[in-house]
């Protein structure tokens, strides 16, 4: 019988879909890191939890890229799980590939940016550097740019709209442009979106909740896809049954 250890850092995408995907599976242990928490801040607690997997009878690990166990324990300590894992990020990315095919990262950036704009003009692209390297963007080539991933995103999204591109360090700086209707902020889901409206305590990585005049394009693509699905006009959706079947295929 499969006995699963589940670990990831919370975000609105995982909170909505992961329980549906894993419904009915035997989850015998979890380590869920609250949104906004740096993994290094809970490193000791997490490493201790990982060291007890065998004695708890765990046979498989399901994790996101942020909480990859191999970043916290040696390969020798986790050797028995090397081929018994499911990566949540890739599970969602595989759905995106089914929607739009295996394009380059640049093409995918441009496609999602166009979906976010939904026909509206964009004259300024503001890229938040904080946390943007936390996730791989689904696509078929390695990212190479003299200014790193941030520069790559700024350049490619700017090309879509022939817009001015600006890079800032934090979301707070980006919000200086929030009143501009024809501006698009591009930010990682862990760049501080939750703190945009602290009085409500809600997540603001949903287009329906974004309280500013400018547009919001959140990375990685799977979180952007959730935004678009929530908006109600997006022609695609995450197929939970299909994703569960994919998990079962990997849990061998």
pLDDT digits (tens, 9 = 90+) for 128-179: 998 887 666 665 555 666 567 888 899 999 999 999 999 999 988 999 999 9
My answer on whether 34 and 149 are in the same domain is no
Q: Model's pTM, two decimal places?
A: 0.85
Whether residue 119 is predicted with pLDDT greater than 70 in this model: the reply is yes
Neighbour-count burial for 17-41, b at 16+ CB within 10 Å, e otherwise: bbeebbeebeebbebebebeeeeee
Q: From CA 195, how far away is CA 202, in angstroms rounded?
A: 8
Range of the domain at 207: 102-231
My answer on whether 109 and 84 are in the same domain is no
Side-chain half-sphere of 16: how many Cα atoms within 13 Å?
18
203 part of a folded domain: yes
My answer on whether 171 and 131 are in the same domain is yes
My answer on whether 116 and 188 are in the same domain is yes
My answer on whether 223 and 111 are in the same domain is yes
My answer on whether 123 and 227 are in the same domain is yes
pLDDT-based confidence at 198, cuts 50/70/90?
A: very low
Neighbour-count burial for 199-237, b at 16+ CB within 10 Å, e otherwise: eeeebbbbbebbebebbbbbbbbbbbbbbbbeeeebeee
Q: From CA 194, how far away is CA 189, in angstroms rounded?
A: 9
pLDDT-based confidence at 122, cuts 50/70/90?
A: very high
My answer on whether 76 and 178 are in the same domain is no
86 part of a folded domain: yes
Q: What is the pLDDT of residue 128?
A: 93
123 part of a folded domain: yes
My answer on whether 65 and 163 are in the same domain is no
> Which residues have C-beta within 8 Å of that of residue 189, sequence separation ≥ 6?
11, 12, 13, 131, 205, 218, 219, 220, 223
Q: What is the pLDDT of residue 124?
A: 97
Provide the domain count of the chain: 2
My answer on whether 31 and 79 are in the same domain is yes
97 part of a folded domain: no
Cβ(214)–Cβ(181) below 8 Å: yes
């Amino acid at each position: 019988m499969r006995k699963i250890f589940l670990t990831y850092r919370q975000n609105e995408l995982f909170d909505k879909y992961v329980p549906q995907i894993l419904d009915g599976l035997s989850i015998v242990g979890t380590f869920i890191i609250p949104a906004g928490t740096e993994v290094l801040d809970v490193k000791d607690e997490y490493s201790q939890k990982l060291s007890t997997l065998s004695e708890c009878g765990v046979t498989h690990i399901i994790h996101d890229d942020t909480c990859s166990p191999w970043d916290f324990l040696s390969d020798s300590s986790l050797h028995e799980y090397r081929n018994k894992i499911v990566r949540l990020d890739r599970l969602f990315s595989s759905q995106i590939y089914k929607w739009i095919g295996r394009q380059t990262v640049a093409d995918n950036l441009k496609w999602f940016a166009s979906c976010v704009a939904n026909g509206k003009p964009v004259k300024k692209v503001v890229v938040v550097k904080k946390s943007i390297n936390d996730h791989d963007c689904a696509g078929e080539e390695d990212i190479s740019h003299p200014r790193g991933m941030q520069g790559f995103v700024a350049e490619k999204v700017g090309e879509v709209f022939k817009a001015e591109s600006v890079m800032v360090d934090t979301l707070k700086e980006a919000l200086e442009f929030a009143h501009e209707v024809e501006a698009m902020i591009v930010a990682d889901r862990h760049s501080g979106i939750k703190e945009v409206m602290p009085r409500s305590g809600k997540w603001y990585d949903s287009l329906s909740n974004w309280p500013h005049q400018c547009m919001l394009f959140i990375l990685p693509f799977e979180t952007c896809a959730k935004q678009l699905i929530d908006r109600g006009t997006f022609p695609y959706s995450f197929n939970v049954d299909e994703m569960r079947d994919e998990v079962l295929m990997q849990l061998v």
